[in-house]
A and B are shown apart, each in its own frame.
Chain A
Amino acid sequence: MLWVLLWKDLRRARRNPWPYVINLALPICITALIGLAFGPSSKGGPEPIRMAIVDEDDSAMGRFLRGAADSGDFKKRMEARFLGREEALKEINNNKTSAVLIIPKGFTQNYLTGKGPLALELIKNPAQSFYPAIVEELLEVMVAGLNAVSRNLQADLPEWKEVLAKEGRPDTQRIADLVVRVGKRFEKAEHYLFPPLVRYTKSTQQQKTGGDSPAMNIFAFVLPGLAAMFLLMLADQAIRDQQREVSTGTLDRYRTLRDKLLPFVMSKAVFAVVLVAIGSLILFGGGVWIFGIHWEKPIQMSALVVAYGVFAAGLMAFIGSLTRSERRGDSVNSMLIMCLSFLGGSFFPARQLPAVFREHVVPLMPNNWFIEAVRELQGGGASMPWDWAVLKLVLVGLAFMIAAAWIFQRALTKGVRA
């Protein structure tokens, strides 16, 4: 009997899947939006800093920067483009670049001859905060370097200027002499520089699970919460079919053939559990495929999903038996799901709620048991063992289902509709 009823509902859902598809597509979209807004994906890093360089000097300094900008490592972190002043300012106005560095005319000439003071001009994009500050810091380092070179190699700089300014084939003999002289100066300073007084060591923390797909990235944290809410909506959609059967008269027709209502209510509950399971497969499978989440312990996860489906179906059947009409059920269930999701931690971690909710309400929320248990399985530091959550969810769900069947049958036999 149960199979006959379930077969009918599954076939109907297959022929008209859109209400269910919407409930499945939404959490994936929202997770993607939240993930992209608040954290990098597990595969990518931050965008390179975009800056423009205006080389009004058109000399060795510009060529040096151009060469540096093309080097591999620098290019990964910073996208430097050489533009005219007006074009560069236009880029800032259009928020297309973080900062503009202007090398004024005669800068290299004056630097090499020691004429000062010299100034490089930096224009920062006021619409951005971090990236222009980083460029400024880099410029300060560069200026300190240029000053250090100027102070230590002041005597050789005019000769360097002459060599660099010479047209045609470079005088390699003279360049070699200059390099040797610079080398000797470094040799003399060696005991001041090496070993350096202060050093630092670096290491990267090993990820707990290893591999390319971290177990607990931002998506893995967000998705269970949103899934808990949208799976409730999916169960609501499935169970609300019970009300549709009341309004279309098919439930009455069933009752003229069968005097017990429990198989009918149970079939709707099983239908809801099946839909929740399929929905979970799509949502959590989508998490692996789209966001690169690695779900730990899939068997325990599956048990949790089925248990949550039983709870969701039971709760929605119970509310449906009280509200009695699809229209009333629609508004009541939507409000209930939003409240449960809010208190259960679907939108943000429940521990962020005020103490009175956190201590007295949140622990009673079955959707919170599910969310915390999934996060616990993911090693996210939650405090709900999965087996305990499964047991509680199933018991609560079954209790709701039995109550729903009893209330529903009683109301129909008394002729509440008539």
Chain B
Amino acid sequence: MSLLKVNGLCKSFGELRAVNDVCFEVRPGEIYGLLGPNGAGKTTTISMISGLLRPDAGKVSVDGGDFWSDPARAQKIMGVVPQEVALYEELTGRENLEFWGRLAGLASGEARGRAGEVLEALSLTDRGQDAVKNYSGGMKRRINIGCALMHRPKVLLLDEPTVGIDPQARANILEFVRKLGAEGTAILYTTHYLEEAETLCSRIGIIDHGKLLAEGTLPELQKRLGGDQLFVLEGNLQQSNPDAWPKFHERFRVIQKSDHQLVVSSQTARHPSECLRDLLELPVRVENVTLKRPSLNDVFLQLTGRELRE
């Protein structure tokens, strides 16, 4: 049974349709990645799931119960890590943890004890008494996550928790999140970093312009491109038109085409050497052909016609 289920979620701001019929679910111990560029609707989706915004349509179920029927119950189960570092800079890391713990319903002594545990889990015990304003970006991010864990939530929503920090701090956070997932927490993780989604998430939903375009495990998404191989042809392709090439579309699917590069996948499961021979016979002067495994970016490219990094 899923701990978090989102069904037909919609939200508009005036003329702008920010989220359009988004559906997915997150099961215990699963890290579900919501991948999309900035402005895709990830934060609006998380805002509706966490109760910050009321959806225009659709339903959010947390542990089997409708969120808006009993928000207090859902909030007790859920922990939210906002995109910005939502901490009080004048307070120490420990004071922040204790404060958010108290707001989440912990008693004073309980919050104190739990703050110690969280600081240890985040490897911040020795800096717990320092004011947050004196922390590095990575440390702030870690405390930002810790504040959402004080009441031991079953569902954790992480909205781009690694934005703007160095690679080492990011690796630490990803490792911590992975550990939380392994302990059974259902995690919804939004990101626009492909590598994070590829290495961290058990399932991934690709979102753009408010619509969930595809979802599944990484291999499932890669399969959408017709296998686990992509062929990259490089050369002067300005004048070339694949539609005019005989039998080309029967054998290959165009993933991306530019003046200097053509990315294709095979329509059927064939040996790469066979595909390579077909490609070299094309009526175009090719300077280089490379074979690569399809990435999430290629999936995104195929779904939206543009790269995620654009």
Contacts and interface: CB of A to CB of B under 8 A. Distances in A.
B286 interface: no
Given A252-B82, A259-B71, A415-B52, 7 more contacts: A248-B84, A249-B85, A250-B86, A256-B52, A258-B75, A259-B51, A413-B53
Interface in B86-133: 86-88, 90-91, 95, 99-100, 102-104, 131
Given A248-B86, A413-B53, A418 B18 contact: yes
Contact of A252 (B13, B54, B86, B95): B86
A15 interface: yes
Contact of B72 (A15, A259, A415): A259
A17 to B, nearest CB: 10
A12 interface: yes
B304 to A, nearest CB: 23
Interface in B46-97: 47, 50-54, 71-72, 75, 78, 80, 82-88, 90-91, 95
B106 to A, nearest CB: 10
B230 interface: no
Contacts of B141: none
Interface residues of A, number: 23
Nearest to A249: B86
B75 A256 contact: yes
Interface string A245-260: 0001110111111110
A15 B100 contact: no
A255 B52 contact: yes
Q: Which of A249, A253, A259 has the most CB of B within 10 A?
A: A253
Contacts of A412: 52
Contacts of B103: 1, 4, 254, 257-258
A8 interface: yes
A283 to B, nearest CB: 25
Contacts of A257: 75, 100, 103-104
Contacts of A413: 53-54
Contacts of A256: 50-52, 75, 78, 80, 82
Contacts of A250: 86-88
A297 B100 CA distance: 43
Interface residues of B, number: 32
B162 interface: no
A418 B44 contact: yes
A8 B82 contact: no
Interface in A402-418: 412-415, 418
B201 interface: no
B212 interface: no
Nearest to B79: A256
Interface string A1-15: 100100010011001
A256 to B, nearest CB: 4
A205 interface: no
* Among B71, B83, B86: residue with most chain A CB under 10 A: B86
Nearest to B81: A253
A11 B13 CA distance: 38
B88 A8 contact: yes
B90 A15 contact: yes
A253 B88 contact: no
A290 to B, nearest CB: 31
Contact of B47 (A1, A248, A254, A415): A415
A15 B147 CA distance: 21
A26 to B, nearest CB: 23
A204 interface: no
A92 to B, nearest CB: 59
12 contacts: A8-B88, A248-B86, A249-B82, A253-B86, A255-B51, A256-B51, A256-B52, A257-B75, A258-B103, A413-B53, A415-B11, A418-B47
A11 B51 contact: no
A201 interface: no
A255 B80 CA distance: 10
Interface string B5-17: 0000001010000
A16 interface: yes
Interface string A222-252: 0000000000000000000000000011101
Contacts of A255: 51-52
Contacts of A254: 103
A178 to B, nearest CB: 88
Contacts of B75: 256-259
Contacts of A253: 80, 82, 86, 100, 147
A192 to B, nearest CB: 86
